[in-house]
Structure 1
């Protein structure tokens, strides 16, 4: 439960400082996490980046203030961190669909983005299937790209990368080179200050390849979760439950190393397709 309390402390800090500059480093400090893992956990659980959540909350409150008589748009813009009325108007229109000056018109429809809170939800769903695995160091052979978490761009880039390597036959070549039929999608080589990491598609192999790159993964204790259902929704649901339910209710935390998804052969769109999420863990 401790991690949920820390995340709620972050939300409390955001709400109390929406008119001030909010440093993501400080939020990560409150959460007792690295900036990278805090932002990734926030995005996985909520579906929003930290920056997007802050922006939506500010624009929700800005709309409420603009309803007051004699309030100037430029004053509200500056209060919520926008340097010019133009940049504020652009962001406001994108969120609410109307200009700031139109708020006081009768019947104007506005968006209200509520404050969120973190809690374990007991829904009576099927329990999570997982196991704890001690695994020695191993090597993965394949190909990768550098992705950024800024604005949640990594999700789009990774989806496009999979389409590319499946379409041009690279995944088939990786399996042929390694003699394996299970593919890994691995997050590795994190650059926490710049919010980037390498996403590597490959297969486990005990020898180097003259065609593909290779990555070493150190020995670790892994929590392994089973995903059943069509991709990508099924496995995204597993990631969300891991961070919102499993970590808060166990004595483990993320160990900070590489993590990966393991894809056996089969039709990833089938309702009974099974794959796995591997997350390095350590005792709190």
Structure 2
């Protein structure tokens, strides 16, 4: 399958250049993807970002150099750290010991192996979806910076929603929401910091916008909308992974250059019967 071959070629490129400065945009091209789509899919499938994978692989390979007796300062430069102190800090975070201590006999260390991609579709749950085109539209809402490192996004986004509910933004948007309801929008992915902007928003309205709100344009796109039934956010996590790891590669689609949308109709979002949607902008693999 083209998708599998492209993703595995991208990993091979990373491995071949592990001691060099790696351009994520070049890696994405090898994967026949946009930068956003490649990083988003990689994170959804593996649970870590591309940047974190590179860091873990470099530190895994660095152990071999440490045990062989190479100087720490040389190893730190070899794997892209500006100073031995920065390397030592990263090494200790991953292994729990300093590079010098790793040379001692009997120290427990862990390796992070090279990844490879295989398509495995369980098919144990239906994925109800529809595909449609929609013209561009404007939204307005509250925005926060979200980190993807160590899957912090899965805790930071619900925390952001709780904050908006506590200070009244959610209630204001609920009273002004159009037919789409309230939207959760993931956009502006930063390939260098493993971050993206997340908005709680509604379709732009004509009345005065309160202070602290921002607006954004959602471009025209072809969307695949997936139904999710159950309490938010639990029902969304598994569905997102299945969309990226099963549906997109098996159907021959990739992410187009537009934000991901969560569509929340006004209602009890914590009910077992609550129905919402995830919209993914798509295009066929070339």
Which range, TM-score by smaller chain?
0.7 to 0.9
Contact kept? 1:60, 1:112, Cα under 8 Å = yes
Provide the rounded CA distance (Å) in 1 between the counterparts of 2:147 and 2:76. Answer: 27
Alpha-carbon distance between aligned partners in 2 of 1:36 and 1:8, rounded to the nearest angstrom:
17
For residues 178 and 82 of structure 2, the distance between their equivalents in structure 1, rounded to whole angstroms, comes to 57
| Partner SS, residue 103 of structure 1 | helix
Unaligned runs of at least 5 residues, structure 1: none
Kindly tell me the number of residue pairs found equivalent between the two proteins: 281
Q: Deviations over 1:223-269 (max 9, x none)?
A: 11122343333212211111111111113332312331012344444
Does the C-alpha gap of structure 1 residues 125 and 52 become closer, same or farther in structure 2, counting only changes over 3 Å? same
Structure 2 CA distance for aligned equivalents of residues 87 and 279 of structure 1: 38
Q: Over aligned residues, Cα RMSD in angstroms?
A: 2.9
Aligned in 2, Cα 1:216/1:84: closer, same or farther, shift over 3 Å? Answer: closer
- For residues 1-284 of structure 1, the aligned pairs below 5 Å read 1-68=1-68, 70-140=69-139, 142-145=140-143, 147=145, 151=149, 158-178=157-177, 182-188=181-187, 198-204=197-203, 207-211=205-209, 215-284=216-285
Residues 1:189 and 1:47: Cα distance change in structure 2 (over 3 Å):
closer
How far apart in 1 are the matches of 2:34 and 2:178?
37
Q: 1:268 to 1:109 in 2, by over 3 A?
A: farther
The Cα offsets for residues 20-69 of structure 1, whole Å up to 9 and x where unpaired, read as 2212122122123332332222222222111111010111111133223x
CA contact (8 A) 1:147 1:157 kept: no
Contact 1:119 1:244 in 2 (8 A): no
Which consecutive residues of structure 2, in runs of 5 or more, have no partner in the other structure? none
* TM-score of the two chains, using structure 2 as the length reference: 0.84
Normalising by structure 1, we get a TM-score of 0.84
